[in-house]
Amino acid sequence: MSEMPYAVQPWIAVVCGVDLPPGAEQAIQSAFEEGARWWREQTGRTFEVAPVVVHRSPSSFDELLARHGETNNIWFALQREAHDCGVLDNCDAKRAHYMTALGGEMGGGMVGSENFGCAHVLPGKAAITGGFAYVLLALDPARYGHPAQPWFASERRQAIGALMHELGHMLGDGVAHPLDHTSDDRNLMFGWWNWPDVSFTREQIGQLSGSPFLK
C-alpha cells in the first residue's frame, strides 16, 4: 500500500434541520481545485485536494449557539464532533482541514492545530461559514436566511480567494509560522477579495517552500 499523500481536506458541516444544497460537494471540490491551479501558476507548486467529506451534526444551530456561544466556539465544537464521529482525524498532520459550515454564522478564519490538542501547529484548520459559505456554493445567501454579503464577499471568486488566503496561513512554512498578513491589496495575504488578480511575494513563496503540502 502506498503512503497517504499530504492533502488539503475540504469538509462540510451541516447542522440539524438544514438541507445540504444539491451539488454542494461538487461545488466545494471544484473551488479548491480551481484554487490549486492558481497556486501552481503563482508558485510552480500546489497542493492535492482530497475528496470532500460531510459531517451532519445532531444539533441545530440554536442548540449549538446555546451550548457553545457565538462564532468560533461553534466551529471548534463542530470540528470536534466530526473527529468523534470518525469523519476526520483532527490531529492527522497530513490533512489540512477546511470546513464549510451551513446553517448559521459559526465563526471562521484560521487557527493552529494546537488549539485541538495536536502536537503540531501547521497544518492549521480553517472555516468559512454563514452567508459567505453560500456564496462559495454560488447560491444567494438571502434564500437561506442570511443577509446579503458586503461588496468584498458577494462573489464566488471572492469566496475562493478567502479559501486560498486562509490556506496561506494554514500551510505557511510547514512547521509553526503561517504566512503573515500584508498591507498590499494585490497580495493574497491581504486583498483576497481581488482573487484571482493577486499574487505572493518572493519572500512568501520562499516561506511556503517549507510546506510538505506543496509539490
pLDDT at residue 1, rounded to an integer: 45
Task: Work out the mean pLDDT of the chain and round it to a whole number.
Answer: 96
pLDDT for the residue numbered 144 = 95
Q: How many domains does the chain divide into?
A: 1
- How many other C-beta atoms can be found within 10 angstroms of the C-beta atom of residue 2? 4
Q: Is residue 215 assigned to a domain?
A: no
With respect to residue 214, please indicate whether it lies within any of the assigned structural domains.
no
pLDDT-based confidence at 4, cuts 50/70/90?
A: confident
- Residue 213 inside a domain? The answer is no
Higher pLDDT, 3 or 192: 192
Question: Percentage of the chain with pLDDT > 70?
Answer: 99
The boundaries of the domain holding residue 134 are: 7-207
Residue 19 in domain = yes
Residues 44 and 134 sit within 8 Å (Cβ to Cβ): no
Contacts 24+ apart (CB under 8 A), 33-41: 34/160, 35/160, 35/163, 35/164, 35/167, 36/8, 38/164, 38/195, 38/196, 39/164, 39/214
Q: Is residue 29 part of a domain?
A: yes
The predicted model gives 113-121 an average pLDDT of 97
Across the range 124-137, mean pLDDT stands at: 98
Question: Domain with 154 in it: what CATH number?
Answer: 3.40.390
Q: For residues 201-214, give the mean pLDDT.
A: 97
**H helix intervals, 99-198:** 130-136, 156-171
Q: Domain for residue 124, yes or no? A: yes
Domain presence at residue 74: yes
Measure CA of the first residue to CA of the last residue in the chain; give whole Å: 21
| Alpha-carbon distance values, 187 to 80, 135, 183, 198 (Å) | 33, 22, 8, 5
Q: Does residue 136 lie in a domain region?
A: yes
pLDDT at position 37 is 98
Q: Give 2's pLDDT tier (boundaries 50, 70, 90).
A: low
pLDDT digits (tens, 9 = 90+) for 63-115: 999 999 988 999 999 999 999 999 999 999 999 999 999 999 999 999 999 99
User: What SS3 state is found at 36?
Assistant: helix
The answer to whether the beta carbons of residues 164 and 208 sit under 8 Å apart is no
- 209 has pLDDT over 60: yes
